[in-house]
Structure 1
Amino acid sequence: MFSRKGWGSGSGDEQFTAELSQLKRRGASVLVVGAVRTEQRQEVSRRLLGQTTSQPRRRVLVSTTGESHTMSHLADGDDAESATTALVNYETQSRGAAAANNDSQSMESVSVQSDDSPTTAATLADLGIAVSDAIEEFERDATSLAPGELRIAVDSLVPLLEEYGAERVFKFAHLTNGRTRDADGMIHYHLPLDRDSDVVSVLTPVFDIVIELRDRNGLFQERWTINDGDYSSGWLSIGQS
Structure 2
Amino acid sequence: MSKVELRNERGDGPPDDSLARFQSKLRQLKSEGCNLLVVGDAPREVFTRASASMLGDPDARRWRVFALTDASPESVYDRLPAASAAPRPLSETTKIVNHALPPRPIADLADTPASSVPEVSVGDANLTGLRTELGEAMREFCSQSYRPAEVRVTVDSLAPLLDHYEFDVVRRFLRAVGERVYDCDAMAHYVLPRSYDSEWCRRLRPEFDAVVELRTAPEDPAPEESSHDETDQSNTGTRSHYAEERWHLPQSDTTMPWIPL
* TM-score with structure 1 setting the length: 0.80
Q: Paired residue for 2:82?
A: 77
Unaligned runs of 5+ in 2: 10-15, 104-114, 220-241
1:1-241 mapped onto 2 (5 Å cutoff): 1=1, 3=3, 5=5, 12-51=18-57, 54-65=59-70, 68=73, 70-78=75-83, 81-92=90-101, 95=102, 116-123=117-124, 124-140=127-143, 142=144, 144-217=145-218, 219-238=242-261
Mapped partners of 1:131, 1:64: distance in 2: 13
Mapped partners of 2:146, 2:65: distance in 1: 14
Worse-superposed segment, 222-231 or 168-177: 222-231
Aligned residues: 216
Worse-superposed segment, 202-211 or 67-76: 67-76
8 Å Cα contact 2:67/2:154 also seen in 1: yes
Mapped partners of 2:82, 2:188: distance in 1: 21
Quote how far apart the aligned CAs of 1:87 are. 1.1
Quote how far apart the aligned CAs of 1:181 are. 1.0
Mapped partners of 1:4, 1:235: distance in 2: 10
Cα pair distance change 1:66/1:38, threshold 3 Å: closer
8 Å Cα contact 1:57/1:149 also seen in 2: yes
Cα pair distance change 1:64/1:146, threshold 3 Å: same
Quote how far apart the aligned CAs of 1:221 are. 1.5
8 Å Cα contact 2:95/2:117 also seen in 1: no
Worse-superposed segment, 3-12 or 13-22: 3-12
Question: What amino acid maps onto 2:142 in structure 1?
Answer: E
Mapped partners of 1:125, 1:8: distance in 2: 46
2:257 is paired with a residue whose SS is coil
Question: What amino acid maps onto 1:225 in structure 2?
Answer: H
8 Å Cα contact 2:131/2:173 also seen in 1: yes
Deviation track 1:61-89 (CA, whole Å, cap 9, x = no partner) reads 12111685752431112368421111110
1:77 is paired with a residue whose SS is coil
Structure 1 vs Structure 2: percent identity of aligned residues?
Answer: 31
2:206 is paired with a residue whose SS is helix
* TM-score with structure 2 setting the length: 0.74
Mapped partners of 1:213, 1:167: distance in 2: 26
Cα pair distance change 1:224/1:4, threshold 3 Å: closer
Mapped partners of 2:178, 2:51: distance in 1: 17
Unaligned runs of 5+ in 1: 97-113
Cα pair distance change 1:229/1:214, threshold 3 Å: farther
2:191 is paired with a residue whose SS is strand
Cα pair distance change 1:67/1:38, threshold 3 Å: closer
